[in-house]
Amino acid sequence: MNGHEKAPARRDIVEHHPLIRRLLNSGLPARDLLVAGSAPLLLHGCRKRINDLDVVARGEAWTLAQNWGAAELAPYQGGRQVNAVRPAELEIEIFDGWFPWLFDDHDVFDRAEIVSGVRFMSLANTFHWKSHLAREKDLKDLELIAKKYPSRFGRERAFAA
């Protein structure tokens, strides 16, 4: 963004982003959903776009999501196995957990940021899991977070690398 462009308001992102709209129109109960992946970076203005939506579902939402397709093992290593449903036409991946060796499912929902009724993984938890995975794309995202919020994450980033 240049100096004249204003970052979209969080509420506008939730109400108008096509992937989030698809999720909200999916029939899955929002109370049992947590938007994770890189979407929290979009919400906080660290990223301009995302290519897909990663969502953690629990309870009724997970049960209903399994009607979208067969659950497969997610490509996580360590700890409890995580299952995923990937209906390609929606560009949304639904998981029944999120890096369970890093997070307790209940805790990650409790610490979520709620915007217009949609739960988003906290930026702190997003920073945490991206620091642990440390893939090239995660390192780029960590830099974006640290640049946007240097007093909260700049020092942490120096130690995460």
Is pLDDT above 60 for 142?
Answer: yes
Cα separations in angstroms, 48 against 12, 72, 97, 125: 13, 30, 26, 20
Dump the DSSP string for 50-103.
Answer: -SSEEEEE-HHHHHHHGGGS--EE-S--SSS--EEE--GGGTEEEES-S-TTT-
Is pLDDT above 80 for 160?
Answer: no
| pLDDT 10s digits, 33-64 | 999 999 999 999 999 999 999 999 999 999 99
Mean pLDDT of 68-95: 85
- d(CA 147, CA 157) in angstroms, rounded, equals 10
Is pLDDT above 60 for 17?
Answer: yes
| pLDDT 10s digits, 96-140 | 999 988 998 889 999 999 999 999 999 999 999 999 999 999 999
* CATH classification code of 10-122: 3.30.460
| pLDDT 10s digits, 82-96 | 999 998 777 899 999
- d(CA 122, CA 63) in angstroms, rounded, equals 24
SS3 144: helix
